[in-house]
Chains A and B, each alone.
Chain A
Amino acid sequence: MVSQSVVVAAVLMGVATAGVRFLPFLLGNRLSDPALRRLFAELFPPAVLAVLIAYMAVGGEASAGVQVAQAAGATVTVAAHLAFRNLLVSVGSGTAVCMLVQNLWLA
């Protein structure tokens, strides 16, 4: 049986997360400028992704070795996707390389 603290945490986390996700839909009618909406729909998504990737790449407390493994995985991911444009191949090959480096070379 799941503990009470986990259930309460889950509910509170769910409320917090849903709250921020609902916010733009609740305020959206006030953003009527078409140019602004195009900005949100076209330019913000790649910028947000780039920010998240940058944080994943340089953030956290990963050791230098883990960062090397992640760099290798990222390189393979980009190369595979530019070559084959197949997401399963790209994500799978990059992840496999990262895991191989971490579990075999760094172990």
Chain B
Amino acid sequence: MTDLAIAQGPSPWRRAFVLSLPILAGYVPIGIAFGVLWVQQGLDPLGAPLLGIVVYAGAAQFMAAGMLAAGQGPLEIALATLVLNARHAVYGLAFLERLPRWSAAKAYFAFALTDETYAVLTAASAEREPGLLWRVALLNQGYWVAGCVIGAAAGGLVSGGTQGLDFALTALFIVLLLEQVRSLRKGVAAAVGGAVALAGVLAFGTANTLLPVLAAALVAVALVDRRSGAW
């Protein structure tokens, strides 16, 4: 590719926007659902975008809405958040080689590395430009906060009929998984992870089990892959 072609190629922001489109489809409706739920719990509408900016973690935000409405204290909510989001500690491992040195952009990317951003950027592993990562993360957070704002603004006007809207998050994960599974090796990893998760849920339920089940699933994936002779 010539220098001219590179210079005339899509800008980093345009490429980031294209990569972030899957997240736009999920984050705006889910953000709206969160904003609506937040207001319908009797909480101040400004709190919805506040959490979207400072916390930026969908499941934890939904959980916090219920806990705050129930009168739980901030410390209990923070501890529950720590347990719920502990799985995020795995995500950064996929980007260590793409972000070898510390910078403001890397720090923001680390802060904004959600389930969905992790899923879409690991599927786009061909994209090696570090500048793309924080741009995608920033756009994604923008979509989320926009959804929270819209939902909080409209929450008081919604009387019902929105049951199932939060399924958009599950649908997004399903689509991202389908995009991830492009080889037999990755398909086996997904199958092993899913099987361990189902076994764990059936045996122990879902309360406080996500982190140990996730750890068990990843160990199982590593063992199966090692046994296949891949490393």
Contact = CB atoms under 8 A, between A and B. Distances in A.
B225 A43 contact: yes
A9 B90 contact: no
A21 B194 CA distance: 23
A92 B231 CA distance: 40
B122 A58 contact: no
Contact of A10 (B51, B197, B213): B51
B56 interface: yes
A21 B89 contact: yes
A94 to B, nearest CB: 4
B88 A25 contact: no
Interface residues of A, number: 73
B214 A53 contact: no
Interface of B is mostly: helix
B174 interface: yes
Contact of B173 (A35, A38, A49, A99): A49
B175 A17 contact: no
A19 B111 CA distance: 8
B190 A50 contact: yes
Contacts of B172: 87, 91
Contacts of A28: 92-93, 96
Given A44-B221, A99-B163, A59 B60 contact: no
B61 to A, nearest CB: 8
A53 B194 contact: yes
Nearest to B230: A35
Nearest to B183: A42
Contacts of B13: none
Contacts of A94: 167, 171, 174
Contacts of A98: 164, 167, 171
Interface stretch (B2-10, B67-75, B140-148): B67-75
B64 A25 contact: no
A17 B56 contact: yes
Interface in A77-102: 77-78, 81-82, 87-88, 90-92, 94-95, 98-102
Interface of A: 1-3, 5-25, 28, 31, 35, 37-60, 66, 69-70, 73-74, 77-78, 81-82, 87-88, 90-92, 94-95, 98-103
Interface of B: 21-22, 25-26, 29, 43-44, 46-47, 50-51, 54-57, 60, 64, 68, 73-75, 77-79, 81-82, 85-97, 99, 106-107, 110-111, 113, 115, 118-119, 122-123, 125, 161-165, 167-178, 180-181, 185-187, 189-194, 196-198, 201-202, 206, 210, 213-214, 217-218, 221-222, 225, 231
* 4 nearest CB pairs, A to B: A47-B193, A24-B92, A12-B78, A54-B197
